[in-house]
Amino acid sequence: MGKSFSLPRGTADILPSDITAWRYLESSARQFFSVYNYKEIRTPNFEETELFARSMGQSSDVVQKQILSLRSQKADAAEDSGLALRPEGTASVVRSYIQNNVDRKESLSKYFYIGPMFRGERPQKGRLRQFHQMGVEAIGPDSASPYLDAEVIALAVNLLKGLGLKGFTLKINTLGSKEDKEAFSKKLREDLKPHLAKLSDESKQRYERNVFRILDSKSKEDKAIVKNLKLDHSYLSKESLDYYTKVKENLTALGVAFEESVDLVRGLDYYTHTVFEICDSSLGAQDALGAGGRYGTLVAQLGGSDNVEAIGFALGMERILLALGKVDIKQSALDTFVIAMDDAAVSYAFHVLNKLRASNISADMHFKGGSAKSQMRIANKSGARFTVIIGAQEVQNKTVTLKDMDSGEQEELALQEAISKIKS
RNA sequence: GUGGCUGUGGCGCAGUGGUAGCGCAUCUGAUUGUGGUUCAGAUGGUCGCGGGUUCGAACCCCGUCAGCCACCCCA
């Protein structure tokens, strides 16, 4: 026996027994994306580390602590390659958009992606180091429309509903323009200053690094202080407020229920204006099924044109699956299981197996033989609708015995007859 | 990254100092070529890994790895 290996921390095998749920999730999602006219894009699973730092924000925890860097064998052992596994999808999609000069080809591009993401966090329920997200990005000079904000949010909500989820809530907020955001950040610092001593240690750090995060602190003291600030949208420009009002009107028109939450902020720097979050309380601490928002300046920040805006969201697929619980979808059953009653019948049974498959009938058999009883047990466990029994008699008569596993009835037939019966 | 809890046959668990059991699953059998129920029997574990204490450890101690829950962070 050699050394045995186990999964790297925070990763998971998706076994055949899990696949049904995954495929259900993916195919429903693709259906929704297609209905909303979003096209699939596939980007590499790794990029230049700098891309993530510039997009998500140098100070964000994801960039500071959770990036999994690649190390080149050619370089010194200590030297990293400047490449990193992607912690999210947006940066790559925007990079690709810019690199391919898509803004010169069309005024609005609607993309979706599905794939693995990587973050070096300590694993817990709903949080893995390799996890999967599916998301949408609408990018282009024409993307600055409150209708598009509503469309993107509605797509996320309807997709989750379509999967059968019910217990989730949508929260929305606006951060305003880049200028508004800066003004708010300043105001927040001033308002919090008198309370600084009473804030939790984490929030003291947040005060310096990213004040907004204090707003969704889980500490009781912090919550009380934040509540007392009586936050509102008074720092917003009229344009930003009007835009936000439009988004809400459009959501209502689409029948999308939402909660407004002035203290909803996102951890990544690139968000401006509309932000939203979809939570499901059944999930525990990691309760965000998905989140997204508008990013007004990201494209320019990454070297694209100034007039190109974007909006998008990402959904955590493992979390959706957790929230769905046991997905009850019938597995596609095996059509037939072939049984050889004795060694002499095996080669003819093998021939029959092949004929069945050639006729597009799913079929399997147990090559190791064994008693008729044990083979029948295996056939039963396989879930096959029919058993095709081959013994001396069938070999002699060039026939097969076809047994219906539900009714238990069986009859000896020519192979062609059996095939048409299975297909009917 | 921090704290708490956990780690025993494939799975779920019991066993808290004298070298391991239970349920499910698996396999075999219950008259000659036949399943799902039932009955009888059988296989399977150096008790996550590495040290230590002890005459003796699954059980106590230390370390380590992994999982879970919370913090943190975020999808």
Residue A352: predicted pLDDT: 96
A223-241 confidence digits (pLDDT tens): 888 888 888 888 899 999 9
Q: Give me the numbers of helices (H) and strands (E) for chain A, helices first please.
A: 16, 16
Residue A296 Cβ < 7 Å to strand B: no
A309-355 confidence digits (pLDDT tens): 999 999 999 999 999 886 666 667 899 999 999 888 999 999 999 99
ipTM of predicted complex = 0.85
Domain that holds residue A52: 16-177+237-324
- A340 plus A273 within the same structural domain: no
- A160 plus A284 within the same structural domain: yes
Residue A47 Cβ < 7 Å to strand B: no
A161-185 confidence digits (pLDDT tens): 999 998 899 999 999 998 898 888 8
Q: Is residue A135 part of a domain?
A: yes
> Which of A 127-166 have CB under 7 A of nucleic chain B?
127-128, 131, 133
Structure-block tokens of residue A264: 């909803």
Q: Is residue A220 part of a domain?
A: no
Report how far Cα A229 is from the mean position of its chain's Cα atoms.
Answer: 36
- A242 plus A391 within the same structural domain: no
Residue A202 Cβ < 7 Å to strand B: yes
Indicate the number of domains in chain A.
Answer: 2
Taking the model in full, what pTM does it have? 0.90
Q: Alpha-carbon distance A188 to A206, whole Å?
A: 12
- For chain A, the average pLDDT equals 90
Provide φ and ψ at A95, rounded to 5°: -55, -45
The answer on pLDDT for A196 being more than 50 is yes
Instruction: Report, as an integer, the average pLDDT of A270-293.
Output: 90
Q: Tell me which of A297, A324, A351 is where a domain ends.
A: A324
Residue A365: band (very low, low, confident or very high) from pLDDT cuts 50, 70, 90: very high
**How far: A366 CA to B38 C1' (Å)?**
26
Structure-block tokens of residue A282: 């059944």
The answer on pLDDT for A2 being more than 60 is no
Structure-block tokens of residue A283: 């999930």
- A349 plus A306 within the same structural domain: no
